[in-house]
Amino acid sequence: MVSMQIMKFTPTAFALAALALTRQAFAEIAFGTATFTSGSADGSEFNVAWIYGQDACSWTWISNTGSNPCGTDFTLTNGYTYYLGGCGTSSFAVYNADSHTVNAYATFADGYSTDGCVNQDGHFTVQQQWTFG
C-alpha cells in the first residue's frame, strides 16, 4: 500500500512563497539617456534603462531620443522584459511585459549621471531621468 502525504501550507508559508516568486520580476529600474561623444555613434542619443544600483554603462536600448519610448519591450540583465506606459502623464510607469501589470510608477531622478562609459560604438555619458521602484 502506498502512503501519500498531503503537504500543508500555512497562510504564512504560502505568502512567503508567493513573495519570493513575485520579487523576481519587481526590480528597481532606472531610465535615462545615453549620449555618445565619440566613435561610430558620435552625436547619437538613446533612451535607455538599467537595473538601479547596477552599472549604468551597461544599459539596455529602448528607443532613440525624440522617439516615444512607451510601448517598446526591453529586457534587462535580470532576464525580465518590461515596457514603459503613460508617457507624458502622471501615470508614467514601467510594466511587466508578460502580465501587462504595473511594476512601478516613475519618480523623477534629478542629477545622477556617469561619464567615461565605453562600448564598441564609442565613449558616452548616461544621465538618469527617472526611477521606477
pLDDT bracket for residue 25 (50, 70, 90):
low
H/E segment holding residue 6:
none
8 pLDDT higher than 60? no
> Phi and psi for 11 in degrees, rounded to 5?
-55, -35
Q: Is the pTM of this model over 0.85?
A: no
Give the integer Cα–Cα distance in Å for 75 and 78.
8
pLDDT for position 110 = 80
pLDDT exceeds 90 at position 3: no
Please name which of 32, 41, 112, 42 lies closest in space to residue 65, comparing C-alpha atoms: 32
**How do residues 88-100 score in pLDDT, each as one tens digit?**
999 999 999 999 9
Phi, psi of 68 (to 5 degrees): -70, 120
